[in-house]
């Protein structure tokens, strides 16, 4: 058969997404499937059972990454790969990550149903802990797999309750035996919702990002003096939450002032967190992103200076840690053009853009030709329960993925 006429089954894709959305489903219509939670395990189990139905060779590596491999005509040739993640943010959406996994599953099912033979093997992947919300940083398991992060450091990362990532991975039964070590990949595609407003604003169905912004994460720790709020005069307090408040506003201001970047404080822990105790310990996070890595670093330099001044003035000693840094990822031109061309061939409108959200594709881009396929996010909302994309767009993106996979998998 002419492979260019092959299309996915949109109804079946919708059913897989709806089935997955039940796992960790929240009353607000989203999902909560934190990395290494029971819900993560249930979603993984279902995913693996679906892979077995289409006779994929399933392996789980020591970071819990799940690979499903479909044989190629020439087994010695490097595989073509696609996937994303099944974990989610707390009270997150039902498309982020899972669309890329279910979209590729639908592609694999379509190949299976039609008895398609590809020259190269084709592999689907579910990357462990893409979100980095429970265990920082994000994309940690693709980072280890690509040789950019250390496995034991990753195992030792702790959540808010002091639980270790390695132990939690073992607890859910996904600390596999296979080394988390890159094998040769001919091309990697990641299919994802845009998570921003551009495609909707431009009325375009398919987005082809030229790459992903750099991501810099920092952790800030402040210490002060706890005391009874009533008898303690305002003068001379060492109130860590006041220091943090000034610093948080500085993060927002510096991003506005410098432009071409975004900077966010999204997480804060305040201790002892009682309305009638002056806080003596605060931890908060800083996330800085830009297409220009040097620009992001300049912002951090300015912030570091300002944080030190605030901490000094308020007598709240500060400790700053750089937790994670990933360079901006300019994707492979040929693969990005392939996404745009496939959209044209299938009659979908498309848009060349940039990804502000982080994806495992960032690390994959460091070891093999990589590109992504985006579809619109309703009202540009993501990492929230109301995250939404239309079923038609989900199907359109999966068809683009199918065509891109077929083209790459038949290259010699």
Residues 79 to 118: which contact Mn ion by CB under 5 A?
A: 96-97
What's the CA gap between 4 and 403, in Å, rounded? 7
279 forms part of the interface with ligand GLV (CB under 6 A): no
Give the nearest distance from C-beta 91 to Mn ion in angstroms. 12
Give the nearest distance from C-beta 245 to ligand GLV in angstroms. 24
Residue the block writes with tokens 């429970």: 134
The CA-to-CA distance between both ends of the chain, in Å, stands at 19
Residue the block writes with tokens 């219509």: 29
What's the CA gap between 244 and 307, in Å, rounded? 9
- Of 112 and 381, nearer to ligand GLV (C-beta) is 381
Give the nearest distance from C-beta 266 to ligand GLV in angstroms. 9
Distance of CA 269 to the CA centre of its chain: 23
Binding residue count for Mn ion, defined by CB under 5 A? 2
357 forms part of the interface with ligand GLV (CB under 6 A): yes
- Dihedral of CA atoms 242, 243, 248, 249 in degrees, nearest 10, equals 70
Task: Identify what 207 binds: ligand GLV, Mn ion, none; CB under 5 to 8 Å per kind.
Answer: none
What's the CA gap between 394 and 94, in Å, rounded? 12
Give the nearest distance from C-beta 138 to ligand GLV in angstroms. 5
131 forms part of the interface with ligand GLV (CB under 6 A): yes
Question: For ligand GLV, which residue has the nearest CB?
Answer: 358
358 forms part of the interface with ligand GLV (CB under 6 A): yes
For residue 319, count other CB atoms closer than 10 A to its CB.
11
Task: Identify what 138 binds: Mn ion, ligand GLV, none; CB under 5 to 8 Å per kind.
Answer: ligand GLV
The encoded tokens of residue 391 equal: 């079923």
DSSP string spanning 218-230? Answer: EEEEEE----BTT
Given 31, 34, 138, 409, the residue binding ligand GLV (CB under 6 A): 138
Q: Strands 281-290 and 79-84, how do they pair?
A: unpaired
What's the CA gap between 210 and 7, in Å, rounded? 25
Task: Identify what 358 binds: ligand GLV, Mn ion, none; CB under 5 to 8 Å per kind.
Answer: ligand GLV
Helix (H, G, I), strand (E, B) or coil at 198: helix
220 forms part of the interface with ligand GLV (CB under 6 A): no
Give the nearest distance from C-beta 359 to Mn ion in angstroms. 6
**Cα torsion angle, 84, 89, 91, 93, sign:** negative
Give the nearest distance from C-beta 358 to ligand GLV in angstroms. 4
- Of 108 and 263, nearer to ligand GLV (C-beta) is 263
287 forms part of the interface with Mn ion (CB under 5 A): no
Task: Identify what 255 binds: ligand GLV, Mn ion, none; CB under 5 to 8 Å per kind.
Answer: none
Would you tell me which residues interact with Mn ion (CB under 5 A)?
A: 96-97
Would you tell me which residues interact with ligand GLV (CB under 6 A)?
A: 131, 138, 357-358
């Amino acid at each position: 058969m002419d492979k260019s006429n092959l299309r996915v089954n949109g109804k079946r894709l919708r059913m897989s997404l709806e089935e997955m959305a039940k796992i960790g489903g929240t009353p607000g219509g989203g999902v909560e499937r934190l990395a290494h939670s029971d819900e993560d395990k249930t979603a993984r189990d279902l995913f693996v059972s679906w892979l077995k139905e289409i006779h994929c060779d399933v392996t789980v590596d020591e970071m819990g990454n799940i690979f499903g491999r479909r044989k190629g005509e020439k087994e010695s040739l490097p595989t073509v790969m696609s996937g994303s993640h099944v974990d989610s943010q707390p009270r997150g959406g039902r498309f982020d990550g899972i669309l890329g996994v279910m979209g590729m599953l639908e592609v694999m099912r379509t190949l299976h149903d039609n008895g398609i033979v590809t020259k190269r093997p084709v592999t689907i992947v579910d990357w462990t802990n893409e979100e980095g919300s429970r265990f920082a940083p994000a994309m940690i398991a693709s980072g280890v797999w690509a040789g950019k992060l250390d496995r034991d450091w990753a195992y030792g990362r702790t959540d808010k309750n002091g639980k270790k990532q390695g132990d939690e991975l073992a607890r859910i039964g996904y600390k596999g035996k296979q080394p988390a070590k890159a094998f040769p990949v001919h091309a990697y595609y990641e299919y994802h919702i845009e998570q921003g407003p551009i495609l909707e604003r431009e009325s375009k169905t398919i987005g082809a990002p030229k790459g992903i912004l750099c991501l810099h994460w920092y952790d800030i720790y402040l210490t002060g003096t706890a005391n009874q709020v009533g008898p303690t005069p305002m003068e001379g307090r060492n109130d860590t939450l006041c220091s943090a408040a000034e610093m948080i506003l500085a993060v927002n201001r510096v991003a506005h002032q410098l432009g071409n970047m975004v900077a966010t404080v999204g997480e804060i822990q305040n201790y002892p967190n009682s309305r009638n105790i002056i806080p003596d310990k605060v931890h908060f996070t800083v996330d800085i992103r830009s297409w220009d890595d040097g620009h992001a670093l300049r912002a951090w330099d300015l912030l570091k200076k300002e944080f030190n001044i605030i901490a000094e003035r308020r007598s709240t000693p500060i400790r700053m840690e750089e937790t994670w840094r990933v360079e901006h990822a300019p994707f492979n031109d040929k693969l990005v053009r392939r996404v745009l061309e496939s959209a044209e061939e299938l009659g979908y409108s498309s848009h060349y853009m940039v990804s502000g959200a982080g994806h495992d594709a960032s690390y994959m881009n460091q070891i093999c030709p990589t590109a992504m396929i985006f579809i619109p996010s309703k009202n540009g909302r993501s990492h929230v329960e109301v995250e939404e994309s239309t079923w038609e767009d989900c199907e359109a993106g999966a068809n683009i993925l199918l065509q891109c996979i077929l083209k790459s998998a038949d290259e010699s």
